[in-house]
Amino acid sequence: MKAIVHHEYGSPDVLKLVEVDTPAPTDDEVLVRIHAASINGSDREGLIGKPLYARLGGLRKPGHPILGSDISGRVERVGRNIREFQPGDEVYGEVPGYHGGFAEYACLPVNRLAQKPASLTFEQASAIPQAGVIALQWVRQKRQIRPGEKVLINGAGGGAGTFALQLAKLHGAEVTAVDNAGKMDFLRSLGADHVIDYTRQDFTRTGTQYDRILDVVAHRSVFAYKRALRPDGTYYFVGGSVGVLFQILLLGPWIRRTSGRNIRLLTVQPNRNDMISIAELCEAGKIIPVIDRSYPLKETPEALRYVEEGRAKGKVIITV
């Protein structure tokens, strides 16, 4: 099969379209012929090898050469123990380990796969798994977001951010969306009540405090995040610098004890039911999977360059 591979960390230039062996499903897996794969922040991180957690699979060179986790397509073949899917079924899901999706075929276990709703295109379905589930698990953390809560999303214009913004609005929150200047009107069009251009303003220094913050690009100190929280507010780190991550692990409990403010990591659990819940909201027209543009598989380097340049609004899709 054809696949986009990389054998070193670096810019999109290190990506190559090559022939590799088609994966064979185990007894508990489904082989999917991929129609679309969406780009996540984790693909960009896996390509450049930064932050450091992106090198967990291989410190000096990529442990797995094929990036891409969120896919949709048709079932080609099923393992011996699979009853739920049959060849020809239209499906979408998340390849475990954040790799293997920028290719013609991938194998997925059943708990990462769902039937694609007929009303969603392959592109739309591939936009859902990682980004939609991050957003849903954030909205449901501790207790569901309540109407009137002041919420801030840092990195609101990307994959997880655009789902999170729409979900927070659906729950009646007052949403501040942070991203680059080129995305301000776009974020307002998705329902943001307030927008902040991160290149001009630091959201932790505006004087406004929030009940709940989602951060997919964290790079400030925990004390800055504490400043931006209401006394009983919670900040969730989803992605960003490893330095911030360690600060949260070390100082988060102390900040909580001394100020009541909760600064913590959100470890997202891949969850099939959550993936289906997001797809149902999309089917019902309550939220939309925001797709900026699509590129054919062979142009994956261009697609990642477009994302890297800070122009992508929502998701960029690879069509296979």
Ligand X SMILES: NC(=O)c1ccc[n+]([C@@H]2O[C@H](COP(=O)([O-])OP(=O)(O)OC[C@H]3O[C@@H](n4cnc5c(N)ncnc54)[C@H](OP(=O)(O)O)[C@@H]3O)[C@@H](O)[C@H]2O)c1
41 binds ligand X (CB under 6 A): yes
Q: CB 237 → ligand X: shortest distance, Å?
A: 7
Shortest Å distance, C-beta 79 to ligand X? 26
Query: CA 158, CA 294: separation in Å to the nearest integer?
Result: 15
Asked if 120 is part of the footprint of ligand X (rule: CB under 6 A), the reply reads no
According to CB under 6 A, which one of 178, 192, 214, 318 is a site residue for ligand X? 178
Task: Indicate the SS3 state at residue 102.
Answer: coil
Residue 47 in contact with ligand X, rule: CB under 6 A: no
- Of residues 66, 67, 71, 268, which one binds ligand X by CB under 6 A? 268
Q: Is 155 in the site for ligand X (CB under 6 A)?
A: yes
User: What DSSP line would sit under 203-224, residue for residue?
Assistant: GGGSS--EEEEEESSB-S-HHH
Q: What is the spatial distance between Cα 164 and Cα 142, in angstroms, rounded to a whole number?
A: 16
Q: How far is the CB of 35 from ligand X (least distance, A)?
A: 20
CB of 66 within 8 A of CB of 100?
yes
Q: How far is the CB of 219 from ligand X (least distance, A)?
A: 6
- Maximum Cα–Cα distance for the chain, whole Å? 59
Tell me the three-class secondary structure of 221-241, residue by residue: CHHHHHHCEEEEEEEEECCEC
CA distance 192 to 177: 6
Sheet holding 194-197, edge to edge: 194-197, 174-179, 150-154, 210-215, 229-237, 262-265
User: Of 56, 171, 178, 30, which Cα lies nearest the Cα of 112?
Assistant: 30
Site string for ligand X, 219-258 (x = CB under 6 A): -------------------xx-------------------
Q: Give the footprint of ligand X on residues 194-223 (CB under 6 A).
A: 198, 216-217
Nearer to ligand X, 84 or 202 (CB): 202
Find the shortest distance in angstroms from Cβ 56 to ligand X.
Answer: 11
* Interaction of residue 179 with ligand X, rule CB under 6 A: yes
Residue 129 interacts with ligand X (CB under 6 A): yes or no: no
For ligand X, the binding residues (CB under 6 A) are 40-42, 44-45, 130-131, 134, 154-155, 157-161, 178-180, 198, 216-217, 238-239, 266-268, 310, 312
